[in-house]
Structure 1
Amino acid sequence: MDERTARIEDVEFLARSTTRIRLLETLRERGPATREDLREALSASRTTVSRNLDALCDRGWVRATDREYALTPGTDAIVDRFLDLESTVGIADRLRPFLEHVDDDAFDVDLGLLDEATVTVTEPGDPLAMVNAHVAAIQRSTDVLAAVPFLGLHATEAVHESVVDGDATVELVAGPRVVETLLEAPGYAALAADLQAADGFTLSRAPADVPFYVGVLDDVVQVGVDEDGEPRALIESTTPAVRDWARAKIDSFRE
C-alpha cells in the first residue's frame, strides 16, 4: 500500500464514525479523560466508547496512561483539518445553487470565509427574491461599490433615489455594453443623466464584460450569478475578509 492510499484510508476511518470524531474533539477540548468521562461526555454506551477508543489507540492517535486517554502529538492538527474539511463540504453544499452558475477561476474567494453567508435563490412562489434583496440593500446603504454584468430598472431606480434624492455615494463598474445601455437606453438614460449630474455617483467603464455581480454595500457583500441574464442565486456576507476580496475583485474588473 502506498503512502497516499494509507492516508486516504485514515480519512475514511474517521469519516465512517461520528463517535471517533467526537472522542477526538472531546479529548482535544478537555485533555486526558477516563473511559467513564468520555462515555458521559458523549452520552454513549460503554461498549461503543471502548470499541472506538481501542481503534483510535491502534491508529496511534490516542494513548492510554494511568487509566486516562489523551491525544498523541499531532492528532489535534488531524482533528482541526478534518473539521475544516467537514465545514467546507457543508459550505459547498449550501452554496451549490450559486456555485453551479459561476466560474471557479473568477470566483476565487476561500469558501471557508463564507461559513456565515446567506443564500437567496429564485423560487416558484418568489421569482424576484434575489432582485428584492439586492434593491433592499441599495435602499438601506449609504456607500455602494458594485460591479454589474447587466442592469435592472428597479435597482437603477433605487440607486437614483439613494444618490439624487438622498446622500448616498455609489460607484458602478460595468462593461462597455452595460454602460451604453445605462447612458442611452429608454428608461435608463434619464436616470443616468440625473446620476451623472450628482456629486455622489461614479460610473467606471470596465474593458470587458463583468462575469458576475459583486457589490460592497456598507458592510454587506453581495455576489450574484445569472443564467442568460436571469438571476439565479445571491449570496450575502458581512465577513471583513470577504469585503477585502470583493473590493479587490471589483478593482480587477475596473482595470
Structure 2
Amino acid sequence: MVQEHEAYGDIQFLTGSPQRRAVLGALCDEPARPHELCADIDATRTTIQRILAGFRERQWVVKHDGDYRATVTGRRVRDRYESLHEEVARARRFGPFAAHLGPIADDLPAAALETGRLTVSEEGSPLAALSRFTEWLQAVEGDMCAISPVVARPFNEIGAELLDEDTGIGFVIDATVLEQSKAQYESELQFGADHGQIDIYVHETPLAIGVAFDDRRCCVVAYDDNNNIRAMLEATNDELYEWVQDVYERHRERSTPLAALYGSDGDRVESQKR
C-alpha cells in the first residue's frame, strides 16, 4: 500500500502542470541545462529548477556535468503518460458518441476510435451529425443494409430514391417505428412492404442505435433519449465494417419480416395463423 500511495503521488506530481510534462519530454529528446529549458518552455527559472528537483528525487532524471538527462525509467514514464494523454483526449472527443451507444458498444473495435471519421452534433452545429448521415445515405453505392430506431420523411425519401436506382435494401426497425410509420407515413410503409427491392424486419425489442453499410462503407449512428442524432462514426472496409455487418445480422436474426406483421392491404395479419 505504501508503494501504491507513493506511485499515486508521483502521478499527481507529473500531471500537476503542463510544464512538468514539457520538461520531461524535452529531456527525453536530448540532455539540456535549466537555461536551455527556460528558452523553450513557458516557465520561470525557479519553476524549472523545482521541476528538475522533483524529477531527480524520483530518479526520472539525472544530472551530469551540468546537463540534465532522462533515465530509462523517466523515458518509460514519459511514453506511458503520452499514451494516457492521447487516450484521454480521444475519450473527450468521442464522448458524445460513446455515451449514447449503450451496451452494444462493449465490443466496438478499438481501432475504430483511431481511424474512423467522427461527426458530432454540438453547440454551434446541432445538426452536424444529421446532415452528415443524410449525405452518407445519398452516396450509397450498391446494396445497403441498415438498422434505425427512428422514422423521418427525409430518410423515407432517400430510401425511395435508392429503390428507384435498383438498390437492394435490408432494413431493421422496431415496433415503435412500425407504429409511427403506420400513423404518419402509411403510403411509404405500404410502398416498402410491396417493393421487391427492400426487405424490412421488425426487431423484437426497442432499438437504441443505428448502423448502415453499403458495398464499401459503414457507419454507426448514436441517438439521444429523444431519438435525435448526436454523433456518427464512419469508415470504409475495415474492422469496423465487419463489426457493423455482424451487428446488423444479429439484429436481423432476432426480427420478424414485415410481411408477417403487415399485410399487402395495409392491415396487420394474424401472426399466430397456421
Q: TM-score, normalised by structure 2?
A: 0.71
* CA distance in structure 1 between the aligned counterparts of 2:111 and 2:49, rounded to whole angstroms: 34
Change in CA separation of 1:65 and 1:118 when aligned onto 2, cut-off 3 Å: same
Q: Which segment drifts farther, 5-14 or 31-40?
A: 31-40
How many Å apart are 1:205 and its aligned residue?
A: 5.0
Match of 2:104 in 1: 106
Matches within 5 A, 1:23-42: 23-28=23-28, 30-42=29-41
Letter of the 2:221 counterpart: V
Equivalence for 2:17: 17
State the alpha-carbon separation in 2 of the partners of residues 187 and 226 from structure 1: 28
Deviation at 1:6, TM superposition (A): 2.3
- Supply the RMSD in Å over aligned alpha carbons: 3.5
Deviations 1:213-249 (A, max 9, x none): 1234543523221314x31512234384444443343
Structure 1 partner of 2:257: none
Structure 1 residues 157, 32: CA separation in 2 closer, same or farther (over 3 Å shift)?
same
Query: Does 1:215 find its partner at 2:207?
Result: no
Tell me how far 1:83 sits from its aligned partner.
2.7
- 111-120 or 219-228, which moves further after superposition? 111-120
- Farther off after superposition, 153-162 or 213-222: 213-222
Decide whether the 8 Å contact of 1:179 with 1:205 is kept in 2: yes
How many residues of Structure 1 are paired with residues of Structure 2 in the alignment? Answer: 247
Kept in 2: contact 1:175–1:205 (CA 8 A):
yes
CA 1:161 to 1:15, structure 2 compared with 1: closer, same or farther past 3 Å? same
Q: Distance in 2 between matches of 1:34 and 1:134?
A: 53
Give the conservation status (yes or no) of the 8 Å contact 1:173–1:205: yes
CA distance in 2 between partners of 1:245 and 1:254 (Å)? 14
Distance 2:37 2:122 in 1: 46
**C-alpha spacing 1:34/1:220, structure 2 compared with 1 (3 Å):** farther
Alpha-carbon displacement from aligned partner over 1:93-114 (angstroms, at most 9, x marks no partner): 34444444442x3222367843
In structure 1, runs of 5+ residues without a counterpart are none
Q: Quick one: distance in 1 between partners of 2:122 and 2:42?
A: 42
Classify 1:76/1:117 alpha carbon distance in 2 versus 1 (closer, same or farther; 3 Å).
Answer: farther
Residue aligning to 1:247:
245
Query: Greater CA deviation, 245-254 or 146-155?
Result: 245-254
Note closer, same or farther for the CA distance 1:60–1:138 as it changes in structure 2 (3 Å cut): same
Give the partner amino acid of 1:226: D
Cα distance change, pair 243–62 in 1 and its aligned pair in 2 (3 A) = farther
The aligned counterpart of 1:62 is 61
> Which one of the candidate residues 205, 226, 229 is aligned to 2:224?
226
Q: 1:66-120 CA distances to partner (integer Å, 9 max, x unpaired)?
A: 43333222433332332333333333334444444442x3222367843675343
**2:221 and 2:229 in contact (8 A); partners too:** no
2:269 aligns with none
**Counterparts in 2 of 1:177 and 1:128: CA distance versus 1, 3 Å:** same
How far apart are the structure 2 equivalents of 1:3 and 1:128?
50
CA distance change for structure 1 residues 48 and 149 in 2, over 3 Å: closer, same or farther?
A: same
The residue type paired with residue 215 of structure 1 is: A
Distance in 2, matches of 1:77 and 1:171, equals: 50
Aligned to 1:87: 86
Q: Percent identity?
A: 23
Residues 237 and 72 of structure 1, relative CA distance in 2, 3 Å threshold: farther
Counterpart CA distance in 2 for 1:148 and 1:178 is 8
8 Å Cα contact 2:119/2:129 also seen in 1? no
Deviates most, 66-75 or 11-20: 66-75
Relative distance call for 1:2 and 1:220 in structure 2 (3 A) is: same
Counterparts of 1:127 and 1:138, CA distance in 2? 19
TM-score (norm 1): 0.75
Please, which runs of 5 or more residues in structure 2 have no aligned partner?
254-274
